[in-house]
Structure formats: C-alpha cells, structure tokens
Structure 1
Amino acid sequence: MDWDARVVRGREAARALAWTEAYDALGAADAERPLDTADLELLAEAADMLGQCDDAVALLRRAYTAHAEAGAVGRALRCGYWLCKALAWGGEFAQSGAWLARARRLAATEPGCAECAYLVLLEVELHFRAGEFTQMLEAVNRLPDAARPGTDPDLAAGTTMTRGLALVSNGAVAAGLAELDDAMMTVAEGGVSARCTGMIYCVVIGACQELQELRRAQEWSEALAEWCAAQPDFTGAYRGLCRVHRVALLQLGGAWPDAVREARLACAQLTAGYGEGAAGGAFYQLAELHRLRGEFTDAERAYRDTLHHGWDAQPGLALLWLARGRREEATAAIRRALAETMEPMRRARLLPAAVEILLADPADGPREAAPAADELRAIARDHGAVALHAMAGQAAGAVRLADGAAREALPPLREAGRLWRELDVPYEAARVGVLVGLACRALGDEGSAGLELDAARQVFERLGADPDVTRVRRLAPGPGGPPPSPLSPRELEVVRLIARGRSNHAIAAELVLSEKTVARHISNIFTKLEVTSRTAAAAYAFEHGLVERDASA
C-alpha cells in the first residue's frame, strides 16, 4: 500500500472510530514520510483513545511545534490543550505546567485568538483540582460565548461543560446541571472529537454522581455505554475513568457481577501507565463490592490499593472495620473523615456511614448519631436530589428506631424505601426494609416484621450480599432463628441494665439520657412484656434470651 492509500485508510478508520486501524495506518505512513499537521493530530487522537500515552504526547508536541512555526496560533493552542491534559494523565504535572506556560506565551502574540479560551479551560481545571472554587468561577467568567458561530466544536462543548462544573462547585446546582446537560446535547449532536466526547461523558456523569443526581447519571451512563460499544478499541484513560463511574451505577442498580468485572478492567486499565491518578477511584469501587459481598480480605486489600494511589478510602474502610468487629477504629476513622471534610456534598457521602457506625455503640449511639442524621436532612433540603432525601430518611428512621421511638421511625423509613425503589437501588431499599421490619417488631406487629425481613433477605440473596443475608437470618423468627424481641434496641439496653440491678438514675447516667426518658422506656418495657415490676422484667429478659442476644450483638 502506498503512502497516500495508508493516509486515506487511516482517516476513514478514524471516522469509523476504528482506532487501532487508524493508529496503525497513519503510524505506518508517518514512519515512511512525516504526516501533515491535520493527520498528525488525528494520529495523536488515535494514540490517546488507545491509551498510548507516550506516543500521544510525542505526536502532540510535533503538531504544536509545527503549527506555532507556521503562525497557526489557534491550532497550536488546541494541540497545547490536549498535550497538557495527556501529560497530566500520565502524572507528568510539572511538564504539563511547563507546556501551559509555553502556550500562554504563544497566546500573548495573538490575544484575539478564539482558541486562547483553551488555556482558560486548563486554568479552571487547575483551580478545580486545588478546591479553589471561587477562582474557578472567576476564570470561567472570562470565557467567550460557547455558542458563537464558527467556534471549534471541542472548545464550545468544553466551555459549556466547564461552566456547568464551575457553577455546581459554587453551589448553583440547578444552573450548573443545565449547562452540563447542554454540553451532553452538544456531544449527542455530533461534530465533537472522540477524546472530547469521552472527557465530557466522564465529567458530567461524575458530577451527577457527586450531587447524588442518580437518574441523570443513569441516563447519561446508558448513552455512554452505547457510545463505548461502538468503538471497542477505545481503551484510553477516559475509558478507564468512564468505567469507574459505570461501576458505581451498576452497583447501585444491583448488577454486582457486571460491576465487579468492570471494576477489575478499570483497575487494570488505569494502572497501565496512563491515567494512574484516577486508579484509586477504581480500586475503591472494587473494594466496596468486595465489602458488600462479604469478601473482607479482598476488600481490605483493595482499600489499601485505593490509599496507595492517593485516594481516600472512607467511608468504605470504616464500614469494613465495623463489619469485622473493630467498632472503635471505625468510629475514630469516620469522625476523622468528617472533621477533615467541609464541602456539604462530600460530607453527604460520609454521613450515612457515620450514622450506621455511631449507632453501633449501644450506650451513646442515638445521641451521637442524631446530629449526623439532622445534617444529612439539611443537605437534602438544600440540594433537593431524590437520593439525598432517601439517605436522610433512612438515617433519621434508624436513629429513631435505635432510640426506642419505633412508631416515629416508620414514616421516614417508609418514604426512604419508596424513594430507593423509584431510583431502582435495590440494596438500599432492602436495608430500609430491615429497619421497617425491626420497627414493626418493636410495635408488636410480628407478622409484618416477618414479611419485611423475608423480602429483604430475598433481595440480599439475589445480590450476593452475604453479610446482610446472615444478619437477616439471625433476626428472622422460626427454626434456626432467635425468638423475636418485642423491645426496641434502646429498650433492650435499658432492660439489660435493669437486669443488672441499676437504678433509673444509674441507667440515665450510663446511657446519657434524662431520668424522665428512662422512666418512659421502662413504662414501655412493662407494657410490651406484660409485667408490672423491674424484677419481672429482668426475669422475662433472661428467660427469653433478650439480654444475652443484645450483649452478644
């Protein structure tokens, strides 16, 4: 095949998203005779899409230099943008900064050039990484109108996406989501390069997940899956990062085997030397799946890999420690994580785990967990995402149930279960079902409790959530299960102390309650156990194993 035929073949393959063929054909032509700058950029994009970091960087340097020497400043700045991003993906942040400085000097020679906006996009990205959200928005306000006729499609889409991310980061969630949706529509209409399309998918889906906008994230994830399926050669860093986002959504949707497979692929892809900075996210998602499935040793190893790649392993690691009986370490870890985290949406990731871990303390759990549940409810009210309201209701119901207020726990739990089912998040819906069952049991409705627990068990068994299956089987009445307790977790604590001969004053001091609250709990205990004295309550508790079961838990 002659040189011209190879180039034509490479161009056609790139248009068909056949990246390996495009890379091979254009690479062979370039080895025989240097490509012109347009084809050199196309070869660099093919290398980028295949995860060939070093080649992509070398090709973009050549294209940048050729454009700059020819006086094509705008085209050089476009190459400089992708070059800086490729270097950053490869962990070469100093070199990326050096090329950004070089591009700024070139831009100063033609200040009216539209492509100068590419450098502003890089500046905004640096502010975002540093958590400088105010400066991020200030920089975005210097960007030109993305919809201006004749604007480079990649620049237009990238500008809209970046503006949306800046608005979201500064609390203007509704306006920011509208911009992100607009960027996705621009991608869907075509004309945007493949690497820009991958970048926008990753940023938009990631932002939606951060905001707990699960419906949006699921919708765009389905579109991403179709786009990726059309180009099986796409194995670059954005493909790996897209996989990380997809894993989280597959996990929420209950497709755990698919999620595990995608997580392992993402880990392998992002540790191949291109995009390793994002590998921690892949290992974290893999660790979460291992934890939920009861594969605790594998989970611990994956959390360590998460930390090795510079990512925070919380709240998952604290929940793993709790599952392994290391409650004090879990409590210290989640408290530390909350103390270090100020941004509300990031705190919203930690607060549900904080409630669960703090409630594991039989003495102080409800008192300490209540502020975390209240904060989560406030975040849900301010941001409005359905998943946030589900999380807040679940946390509030768990706290009320643990505090002996089963009747008051049921409304937020019922609402949380409804919202999780609407979002098609079966695992969380089943966890809420367990709490509903326990609340029904505390109110003496054992028939409903059994149905709720059985329904939750079936979901856990289908998902492969072995620790939850074991727990529900322990809770369920019947052969092999303990006799149901009519008492709430807090009432079990009170009756345990009654059985030890503690006075109301001593119980109040140990559980950090008022004596009036203790008296109310004791009155409820007498009613539920159908006894009239503390001695009879203690005898009933010992006889029916209530005290022993509570202590062993």
Structure 2
Amino acid sequence: MTSLSSAQAALDAGSWQVARTEFLAVTKETADPLAYEGLAQAAWWLDDGIMCVGSRETAYRRHRERGDALGAARAATSLAWDSLLFGHGEAVALGWWTRAESLLDGLEESAEHGWHAVREAELASDVGHDPERALTAAVRASAIAHRLGLEDLEVVGMALQGVALTSAGDVTAGMTKLDASVAAATSGDIADPMWMGKVCCWLIIACNRNKDVTRAADWCRRVEAICAERNLTPLFNVCRIQYASVQVARGSWSEAEEELTGVIERLSGSQRASRLDAVVQLGELRRRQGRVDEAKALFAQAEFHPLAIAGLARIQLANGDAVSAWAAIRGLLDRLPQSSRVLRADVLHLGVVVAHAAGDGEQAQLLADELRATAETTRTDSLLASASAADAVLVSAAAAVPLLLEAVRRFNSAGLQFDEAHTRLTLAEALLATTDESAAQHHLALATEVLTELSADDDLALARRLATAAGAPPEGQLSARELEVLRLVSQGLSNPEIAASLVLSEHTVHRHVANILTKLDQTSRTGAASYAIQAGLL
C-alpha cells in the first residue's frame, strides 16, 4: 500500500509524476485531506490546473468535515492564489482569501497566519496594484515568521517587501531587500522550490519594471540554470517570458521572438495566466516591428492586459485616432492607484503623448509632472529618459532639443536600443524645426542603423521621410551595416551567404538589401553595386 509519507518524499524530491501517482493512490484508500493537498501541489508542478484546484477544494472540504479550521484555512489560502493562477478570476481568488481570513480569526498564531499574509501581499500587488497594502501584509508576514522562527517565511516576506517598495518607487530599498532574499533563497534557506523560484522571479520582474535589463538578464540565466537542474518547468516558463521581455527592451528581437513563440507553444494547453503575458509581449514585439495586424490579433487575446491596452492605443494614435487612444490610456491610468508609481510610470509617457494629441493639454501636463516626480524618486536612467521625452512633447522645438538629447543619452545608458533610436527620430524632427539639418542628419543616420538591424518597419519609414526633409543625399543615408552588406552584394554573395558571413538572419539581410535599393534609388542588386562603385562608396 502506498503511504502518505512515500508520496510526500517523491514530492520533496521533485518527482512530480511519481508524486501525483502516489498521492492519487492514497486518496483512493483514505479521506486524509493532506493527501489531497499533496496531490494539488504535484498537479501544480505538472501544470494541471483542473486537478490542482479540484484537489485543493477537496482538501478544504475534508478539513471542514474533520473540524480542522487551521487545515481548511491553509487550503483556502492556497486556493486564493491558484484560482487566480489557473484563470478562475480575481473575484474567486479574493473570495478564498477572505474565507481563509475568517477561519484564521481567533486561532493561535501559526505559520498559516504568515502564509495568509504572504498571499495578501501577492494579491495586493498583482490584483489591486496597491503597494502600500502589499508592504503592510509583507511586513506582517515577516514579523510572524520572526516570532515563530520560520526562516523560509521570513525570506519570502522580505522579498515581497522588496516588490512593494520598488512598485512604490523606492527602488534602492526594494532591490536591496530582493537581492538579500534571492541570495538566501538560492543558498538553501527556502526548502520549498516553489517559493524559492517565486522569490527569484519577483526580482527579475522588478528589474524589468525598472528597465534594469542587464541585471534582469543576469538573474534570468541564473534562475534558468536552477530550473533546469531541478525540473521546475512552470517557473522556467515564467523566467523565459521575463527574459524575452528583456530582449525586446534591449533590441535582441530575433532572440525574443524565438523565446516567446516557444513559450506560447509550450503553454498552448495551459490554463496559467502567464500564457497571456507571453502573448502580449509578442504583440508588443510585432507592433515595434511594424507588423500591426499581427500585433492587434495578439493584443485582442488579452484585451484587459495593461501592455495590450497601451499597445492598441499606440496603434490608434499612429492611425490618427488620438481621441480613442486617450480614452483607453485614461481608463488604464484610472485603474492604477497613485501609489503604484512604477506601474503608472510605464504608461505615463504614452499618456502625455496621446493626451496632447487629443487636445487635453492640462492632463498632459499633469501626467508629465507625475512622471518627472517618479523619475526623480527612482533615479533610474529609463524613467529619467522617459520623463525628459515626455517634457519635450509640451514645449517648443527649440526647448525640446536639450530634453530629447538628455533622453537619448539616458536610454543609451540603460541599454534600450529601440527607445534610443525612436527618440532620435523625435529629436531629428525637433532639429529640423529649428533648421539644424546637419544635426538632424546625424541622428537620423544613427537611428536608421539601429532600426534597420531591428527591422522596425514603421519607424524606418518615418526615418526615410525625415531624411528626405533633411536633404540628406541617398548615399549619406547608408548605415555602416548597410555598407557591409552592399560590399558583399558587390562581391556577388547571395542573401544566405551574407547572413552567414555577418552572423545575421536571412530576414535581416533581406531588409538591409531592400533598404539599400530604396536609398540608392536602384531596382537591382547589380545596379546598386555599380552605383556604389561609381559613387566611391566601396
């Protein structure tokens, strides 16, 4: 006969399939609610949302039948998060959390009280976007852990304090707590691999929110190694989504696309809400690439996700519908409390642009002021850059130039290639308005080189229009990379051969060749090579 202890041993060893089989056998022989709790945890790791939630509900009922309020509260607390995780909705999640709260009321303080506070902090962060409540709950969890001598709970509580602090704009204090928590979690202070992994993921997410892409990438690699070593597939998928987000921000778009399409395929049958995170990230990548119809289809799969709302608003603005774009962004900002400063900051620059375009200058100024205040609090390069770019929207072209130069410098320092190149286009427009064509041409050339590498079609089209307005000669528009490609074209190499030589994708080479033909006003590769030789470009 399979025993509960052997099933638990399999779970502790990370043998998820064996654990599920053994816990299932135990449930057929006994009504012990602990068997259902173990079965739920094994199903969690196997991404079986139906079995996970169903087993937790059965555990809750069995504890209630036995008159065990503490056990029932533990099951209800787990259901509060798993209901949200597997797509049962926020109302169900909050309902289970409240039920657990009522069961714990009046009971002697225990570990269950601390983990209940942890789930409150998670829900406050992810559902309520309320860092103040999240911080209060996380502090309470750590205090309970300290009194009861529960080291793993104390580390988790400290990590959630870090999440709340960074969300509220206190990046230095928040990242300090997260760094300490991850160091403890990865060195063995947290026995449960789920909580170890979650602590690491929180750090990566915080890095992403603050656009600390180098740090996020470093931690992604570390966590991936742990996930691979210990067969932590659900956490591995979350990590890959976060890593892809880093790659989108850094401009490594081919790698990001490969990661996101892979995760979406792996999660095709999953009920986890994290699948939508991958979908909207791919949608944002498609938007930046100028593949608008694909972006809209992806955003439609997650219409209430903040990134999807912002992405669709950008598309509406590009299509000349500033009023609809402003309505969407205003609605999104209304959902995010003022205390959630970093999450709001992600939207504020766009809010300034669309409000100004829609003729709401007063609101545009208020949003710009809020973004500047948050940027000065966090002192991160990415937010300081966004604040300067937002301020530039509301002033004359002459006054905008130094602000946009500062934004370009800050985006460069943050390693955000696309944002830097996009801002250079805006800077070029301002320079042209002040009749400084030479400086405009300089920034257009730098922007065009990056945008060509990224195949950012819409921004490239804008760059060409601005280059024409700046009076740049066709040959002056070729980037360094385009000259490399042109040199190989003149040697008779095919696109696949050029791709292999320069370590690029064939798609990128095709885009380079197309840009070269357009810029040199030629219709064939032979014509472009001949023109370049005659013009002394090669």
What TM-score, normalized to structure 1? Answer: 0.70
Decide which of 305, 314, 322 is 2:317's aligned counterpart. Answer: 322
**Contact 2:428/2:441 (<8 A) preserved:** yes
- Listed as ranges, the matches of 1:88-487 within 5 Å are 88-92=84-88, 100=97, 103-104=100-101, 107=104, 110-128=107-125, 129-131=127-129, 134-145=132-143, 148=146, 151-168=149-166, 172-190=170-188, 191-214=190-213, 216-231=215-230, 234-235=233-234, 240-267=237-264, 272=269, 274-276=271-273, 278-307=274-303, 313-338=308-333, 341-343=336-338, 344-357=341-354, 372-397=367-392, 399-400=394-395, 403-405=396-398, 408-442=399-433, 445-476=436-467, 477-478=471-472
Mark the CA change 1:77 to 1:324 in structure 2 (over 3 Å): closer, same or farther.
same
Provide the C-alpha distance between the structure 1 equivalents of 2:195 and 2:410, rounded to a whole number of angstroms. Answer: 35
**Contact 1:473/1:481 (<8 A) preserved:** no
The C-alpha deviation readout for 1:44-98, integer Å capped at 9, x for no partner, is 4332122112222344456667788999987776555334322332344666566
**Contact 1:73/1:113 (<8 A) preserved:** no
Mark the CA change 1:32 to 1:379 in structure 2 (over 3 Å): closer, same or farther.
closer
Mark the CA change 1:180 to 1:69 in structure 2 (over 3 Å): closer, same or farther.
farther
**Contact 1:44/1:60 (<8 A) preserved:** yes
Moved more, 238-247 or 469-478: 238-247
Q: C-alpha displacement at 1:35, in angstroms? A: 11
**Contact 1:115/1:155 (<8 A) preserved:** no
Q: C-alpha displacement at 1:461, in angstroms? A: 1.2
**Contact 1:45/1:195 (<8 A) preserved:** no
The C-alpha deviation readout for 1:488-538, integer Å capped at 9, x for no partner, is xxxxxxxxxxxxxxxxxxxxxxxxxxxxxxxxxxxxxxxxxxxxxxxxxxx
- Listed as ranges, the matches of 1:34-49 within 5 Å are 43-49=39-45
SS of corresponding position for 2:181: helix
Q: C-alpha displacement at 1:428, in angstroms? A: 0.9
Q: C-alpha displacement at 1:300, in angstroms? A: 1.5
Q: C-alpha displacement at 1:284, in angstroms? A: 2.5
Corresponding letter in the other structure for 1:383: T
The C-alpha deviation readout for 1:403-430, integer Å capped at 9, x for no partner, is 231xx43433333222222221110111
Corresponding letter in the other structure for 2:405: R
Mark the CA change 1:481 to 1:317 in structure 2 (over 3 Å): closer, same or farther.
farther
- Listed as ranges, the matches of 1:512-527 within 5 Å are none
Provide the C-alpha distance between the structure 1 equivalents of 2:92 and 2:156, rounded to a whole number of angstroms. Answer: 22
What is the RMSD computed on CA atoms of the aligned residues?
Answer: 4.2
SS of corresponding position for 2:301: helix
Mark the CA change 1:464 to 1:26 in structure 2 (over 3 Å): closer, same or farther.
farther
Corresponding letter in the other structure for 2:373: A
What TM-score, normalized to structure 2? Answer: 0.72
Provide the C-alpha distance between the structure 2 equivalents of 1:369 and 1:70, rounded to a whole number of angstroms. Answer: 59
Q: C-alpha displacement at 1:468, in angstroms? A: 1.0
**Contact 2:111/2:144 (<8 A) preserved:** no
Partner of 1:82: 78
Partner of 1:500: none
SS of corresponding position for 1:192: coil
Q: C-alpha displacement at 1:385, in angstroms? A: 2.2
Q: C-alpha displacement at 1:197, in angstroms? A: 2.6
Q: C-alpha displacement at 1:118, in angstroms? A: 1.6
Q: C-alpha displacement at 1:301, in angstroms? A: 1.5
Structure 2: which 5+ residue stretches go unaligned?
Answer: 478-538
Q: C-alpha displacement at 1:342, in angstroms? A: 4.9
Partner of 1:549: none
Q: C-alpha displacement at 1:101, in angstroms? A: 5.8
SS of corresponding position for 1:230: helix
Decide which of 52, 55, 79 is 2:51's aligned counterpart. Answer: 55
Corresponding letter in the other structure for 1:315: A
Structure 1: which 5+ residue stretches go unaligned?
Answer: 484-553
**Contact 1:18/1:233 (<8 A) preserved:** no
Higher-Rg member (1/2): 1
Mark the CA change 1:34 to 1:234 in structure 2 (over 3 Å): closer, same or farther.
farther
Corresponding letter in the other structure for 1:234: T
Provide the C-alpha distance between the structure 2 equivalents of 1:178 and 1:213, rounded to a whole number of angstroms. Answer: 14
